[in-house]
Amino acid sequence: MAASTGGTATNTVMSLFNRHLQKRSEKSLRSVPVLYELFDKRPLPGKSGATLFVPRHIAVSGIRVLVEGTVLDTCSTSAHYYSATVKGYGDVRRYSDFLVMVHEIPTMISDDIEYMSRDAGLYIDNLCRTAISAKATSATQIVAPDGSTVTNVLSATNLKQSALFQANTRLAAGNAPTYADGTYAGVFHPKQTHDLFISTSGGNQLNRILLGSDTVGSFLQQTEFGAQKLERATMGILGNIRVIQNTNAPKAHNGGAAAMGFSAGSSGWSALIMGPGAAAAIDLETARLKTFIKPIGSAGALDGLDQLMTAGVKFYFAAVGMDMSNRLLSIPSGKTL
């Protein structure tokens, strides 16, 4: 057993193996987050504890017509500080000395690191969603985590394509910036994207290709290409909203009670439409996921018979909503399917 766990050669091999796992975990981690990609990135702060996010928004109303001889009044800065507490997250697996003796450890650790990294990505996506998900506090009002009232685009039954055009108009009217491709990003639950692109959604004529009859379903519904498109995460652009599919969508209910035009039993899902600057998160380049491998007996007196070794992952993260009143919209819609 000593040959399997100790010695310079073994430690060197394990060190190289851990480097391989580090790269693999990074790849696995980044293949998962959806909302994280839409958040403004901030580096991990130099000191522990709370970090400050500074959006530095410039109010359009601060620009005014110059009148000769009239002194301009000063306006207050629109840069606000938003705080979020940076926390550490991680997971660990343990392996018995029997597995070390039969040389099953490398394969098991490699697989476990990949699964834990993928789970970390899902957890990051959930932290981002929690930071910006609004709650219905009554039958008519949605309030964001920062306490501001979120302008809502309501679709009390199936999600209509017109809601995306309405969301685009509202964001543009508030001078919300777009992403680099000129669009806003919308994260939808699969049931909502089904309504958007299938002809069961009332008034859905935008994607319809008439094949000699007005009763024929939509292009996405009737063709193999359309079926493949429905399976992808980024499904297309509609109403200047890039449609991104994600199962990690918030419910639209008010703690189980009726809210936003829905009954408690069919409160549905809430899509999130946003532009840059709506939220921020710790940059994973500066707070990256790290892997750890501890040899048998590393617990010291707690493992006197050298029975256990461990492998795990750890990362630091924080997410916070910033200008959610002007750069974020919620579109609740009822359940279908």
CATH number of the domain residue 292 falls in: 3.30.2400
Specify the range with the lowest mean pLDDT, choosing from 1-10, 59-68, 119-128: 1-10
* pLDDT computed for residue 120 by the predictor: 92
* pLDDT computed for residue 4 by the predictor: 38
In a domain, 69, yes or no: no
Domain of residue 9: give its range: 2-58+80-130+281-321
Q: Which pLDDT tens digit goes with each residue over 204-255?
A: 444 443 343 444 445 454 555 554 544 444 567 888 888 888 888 777 665 5
In a domain, 140, yes or no: no
Amino acid identity, position 283: D
Same domain? For 275 and 287 the reply is no
Of the candidates 185, 159, 123, 146, which has an alpha carbon nearest to the alpha carbon of residue 269? 159
Of the candidates 325, 324, 299, 245, which has an alpha carbon nearest to the alpha carbon of residue 95? 299
Instruction: Tell me if 165 sits within 8 A of 239, measured CB to CB.
Output: yes
* pLDDT computed for residue 127 by the predictor: 92
The pair of three-digit structure tokens given for residue 304, joined into one six-digit string: 């006197």
In a domain, 112, yes or no: yes
In a domain, 89, yes or no: yes
Q: Please check the confidence at residue 314 and state whether its pLDDT lies above 90.
A: yes
288 CB contacts (<8 Å, ≥6 apart)? 26, 315
Same domain? For 327 and 313 the reply is no
The tally of domains found in the chain comes to 2
The pair of three-digit structure tokens given for residue 37, joined into one six-digit string: 């990609």
Same domain? For 165 and 291 the reply is no
Specify the range with the lowest mean pLDDT, choosing from 24-33, 186-195, 264-273: 264-273
Mean pLDDT taken over the chain? 75
* pLDDT computed for residue 18 by the predictor: 79
* pLDDT computed for residue 300 by the predictor: 84
Same domain? For 265 and 152 the reply is yes
